Chains A and B, each alone.
Chain A
């Protein structure tokens, strides 16, 4: 069995090399990666079948994770939405990462996507009566599904509609596996809240393996990897040389509803025709 798997992987790598070659040409021509290739690279990542949520595990403030979403680049393909659903096993009506067609005040259409913003002063964290939701020192707002009592106060409190509730016991696949990736985390039980984790399982395991989240694909959120136009950038704000730190210095950015004082860790580059 193991040998069979090994062979498959070999074939896979060969195929990838072939695809990669053609992509190099294609990329040179179009600057847009082919979807097939992006997905295959995702599927080829060294990932165990199921990775449990990092729980109670101490994290220091060496890193501070953040995401940048460039609304000038986004083409509205929604790959990030589907990849997230596949990897985190999320059904359509509970999407952690959502897409909306938007338009600027001046009437120019653009594409809006929104993961959980991992707010530094997160309303969902302060209202939770059980500490089932809290912020780690590396900036990630995380959940312990074992603690959650399902009161849904966090849903009422989150200003960005970023939380979903497990109204029922889930059955069947999410609908996006394996085309968009494999489920990498356990399915959540009935009666608890959930939200985007920035693919925390990849980050934690990646760090343990010496990888750099945001640079090494195996340690980077699926939505960032899958984006064909690199509209999403992930990385460490504490590292001045990380791509995200550099881009934040170069580009004009804003965060959603800054007036609320939630201090999100997701930054947006405004689309064409939007003044900030």
Chain B
């Protein structure tokens, strides 16, 4: 009796919160829809993008969403390719986070390109010399991998199982191929996650970007942040339903994995700074760095937010047993990691674009520092994409078996 009263009371207490949450998400999605329709109707004119700063907030959203989805391939690689069985328990939610991340990125990208009706062109008209082409192909193929990896979860869900009796069995059947598919996914992910950095790194005329370290820094930060975010989401969910989903040992292992990678990323970042700004003095780069420091918001001070708050603090939380044991710290680490990735992708994009390229042979100051502040419509679309992502996560956690009991039992 007391237990029943407790449940009822809890539902009354939590249900309003849940409905409020759904309401917020609904508003975000509607804001996004209105902005998106405006963009499609009037064209990119409604943005603050210009010929000199042609990429902005939406590219940041893309890059961040894809990076935060990187837990998908890294954790399932550990689970299925290195055959660390315990990781299988968290691999599925990681894949789901990846799916949400990639679809969000595609949504933002669809808004960003001038001809959304031609989004499929790269698939037909190959330019194998283009990093962007390679990314497009990898992202499309990898999304298919994610759908395949996610299919068992959908087939096993109550919703499908009740209507389609053979669903779960089909799910089990598909699940057998997961290790093989993971290998394909690993290859595709390694390629495009780093190529996103290369998108900037290969541009010889942009002194802030042109360096070989960008691809490696992109993939490292993505894998680290992606894993931490997946863990944080899991812990958050455990608190929502008040039931543990993963063992403490797995939690520690994933935390160590994310934390160590984050430290590796910071180490690389330190040397990148030392090598490109401190110990060496390529005139162009020095000039660009000075300009960033004095005339833009993208100077070193800003980078500290990204590095200390967005990377160092989460890494410390993950690596300190006393902190990672506490749920609230893990969730904080996840949120900070998200901040870190978003701010980093924004910084990298904008710092490269606002520094003008001096192509004229004379000495006149022809090219002012470029400025860009996103327009309302850009914020609107970004909010909509975020709303979509949160809604998907909410629904997925609510309706999909994202923490499978254990496939081994059913199979072996």
Residues in chain A within 8 A of chain B (CB atoms): 94, 100-105, 107, 110, 112, 114, 123, 125-132, 147-153, 155-161, 163-169, 190-193, 254, 256-257, 260-262, 268, 270, 274
Residue of B nearest to A105 (CB): B363
Query: Could you tell me the distance in whole angstroms from the C-beta of A97 to the nearest C-beta in chain B?
Result: 14
| Residue pair B43, A102 in contact (C-beta under 8 Å) | no
Q: Which residues of A contact B121 (CB under 8 A)?
A: 129-130, 132, 147, 149
Q: Are B127 and A123 in contact (CB under 8 A)?
A: no
Q: Find residues 197-216 in chain B having any chain A CB closer than 8 Å to their own CB.
A: 199, 202-206
CB–CB B130/A112 < 8 A: no
Cross-chain contact A166 with B114 (CB below 8 angstroms): yes
B204 touches A123 (CB 8 A): yes
What sequence of 0s and 1s flags, for each residue 224-255 of chain B, a beta carbon within 8 Å of any chain A beta carbon? 00000000000000000000000000000000
| Interchain CB contact (< 8 A) of B42 among A130, A155, A168 | A168
B359 and A159 contacting across the interface, CB-CB below 8 Å: yes
B115 touches A126 (CB 8 A): no
> Could you name 6 residue pairs across A and B whose Cβ atoms are closer than 8 Å?
A147-B121, A147-B125, A161-B357, A165-B44, A192-B114, A257-B205
Are A260 and B205 in touch, CB under 8 angstroms?
yes
Find out whether the CB atom of A152 lies under 8 angstroms from the CB atom of B54.
Answer: yes
Determine, out of B131-139, B176-184, B298-306, the stretch whose residues face the partner at the interface: B131-139
CB-CB under 8 A from B353, the residues of chain A are 156
Prevailing SS type, chain B contact patch = loop
CB pair B122–A129 under 8 Å, yes or no, is yes
Given contacts A102-B362, A104-B362, contact A191 B357 (CB under 8 A): no
Residues of A within 8 A of B126 (CB): 131
- Would A156 and B203 be within 8 Å (CB), given that A129-B130, A129-B133, A149-B113 are in contact? yes
B360 sits at the interface (CB 8 A): yes
**CB–CB A150/B205 < 8 A:** no
**Top-3 shortest CB links A-B:** A150-B114, A191-B114, A159-B205
Note all chain A residues with C-beta closer than 8 A to B49.
152, 167
Give chain B nearest CB distance to A50 CB in angstroms.
22
Q: Which residues of A contact B362 (CB under 8 A)?
A: 102-105, 110, 112, 274
Choose one: A102, A156, A159, A166; the contact of B364 (CB below 8 Å).
A102
A270–B362 Cα gap in the complex (Å)? Answer: 10
Interface membership of B412, Cβ < 8 A: no
Q: How far is the CA of A164 from the CA of B55 in the complex (A)?
A: 13
Looking at B115, B133, B364, B366, the one whose CB has the most chain A CB atoms below 10 A away is: B115
- Bound: A2/B202 CA distance, A: 57
Considering the complex, give the chain B residue whose CB is closest to the CB of A257: B359
Contact pick for A169, options B43, B357, B361, CB 8 Å: B43
Q: Judge whether A163 and B51 touch: CB under 8 Å.
A: yes
Query: With A103-B364, A126-B130, A130-B133 known to touch, is A114 a contact of B114 (CB < 8 Å)?
Result: no
Which residue of B136, B205, B360, B364 is within 8 Å of A157 (Cβ)? B205
Q: Could you tell me if B131 and A127 are in contact, using CB atoms closer than 8 angstroms? A: yes
Q: Is the CB of B363 within 8 A of A104?
A: yes
Known: A126-B127, A130-B127, A159-B205. 20 other contacts (CB 8 A): A103-B362, A103-B363, A107-B363, A112-B361, A123-B205, A125-B129, A127-B203, A128-B130, A129-B133, A131-B126, A149-B122, A151-B114, A152-B55, A159-B204, A165-B51, A167-B49, A190-B114, A191-B113, A192-B114, A274-B361
Q: From residue A259, how far is it (CB to closest CB) to chain B in Å?
A: 9
CB distance from B66 to the nearest CB of A (A): 15
> Is B45 part of the contact surface with A, judged by Cβ < 8 Å?
yes
Chain A positions within 8 Å of B127 at CB level: 126, 128-131
Q: A113 to chain B: closest CB distance in Å?
A: 10
Q: With A130-B122, A151-B132, A152-B55 as given contacts, are A167 and B205 in contact (CB-CB < 8 Å)?
A: no
